[in-house]
Structure 1
């Protein structure tokens, strides 16, 4: 009972556990993979904007898999991310749908413009 109440306030405890496991996996990577993964993780937090916990956990799990495999195979970082790390990061995050924080703001903007452009059921012009 208490766990459900806590989860209602703080979010899924299982997802928090999975996130901590992901962080430990990244910390366990040898250099330069750890440094690259951390740099991308920071960018994901700013760019990705995914608000759905399940999607984030799946994305980070796949991301850790990618870097662990690269470390085992000895694949150079540039062979993974290419010449444009920003393009790599943005393409990677776009592969994971989910709800993004900007979706709420887009809907809010559309609603505000609809309301501003109609008054008394008529389209207004300036």
Structure 2
């Protein structure tokens, strides 16, 4: 009986400290009107987003990562993504994207729901590559 109690206590303790997500590289996207508008890639380590980047950032046939006029306007999107870097990915961080104007570097024009969708999709599908 003592062994069962010790085993149960050990399992409970390790579960409490376990990460929610596997360490690795994740990718997610948001598609609207048959156009991939946002594709993100990020790395998680112990549920903390250690790095993140946009692989695609498009709207109305304009590439916001390559076209000079739109690169100048994409600071809000960059701010919203960078807001998550260094933070533990949890519901509170994701919910903040519903109101990106509250993120100092994002601004009100950012469609935080699109970014939130891409990140959540990546988390649901799991890492494309595991890291140590």
The question of a shared fold, defined as TM-score above 0.5 by the shorter chain, is answered with no
More strand by share: 2
TM-score when scaled to structure 1? Answer: 0.27
- Larger Rg, first or second structure (1 or 2): 1
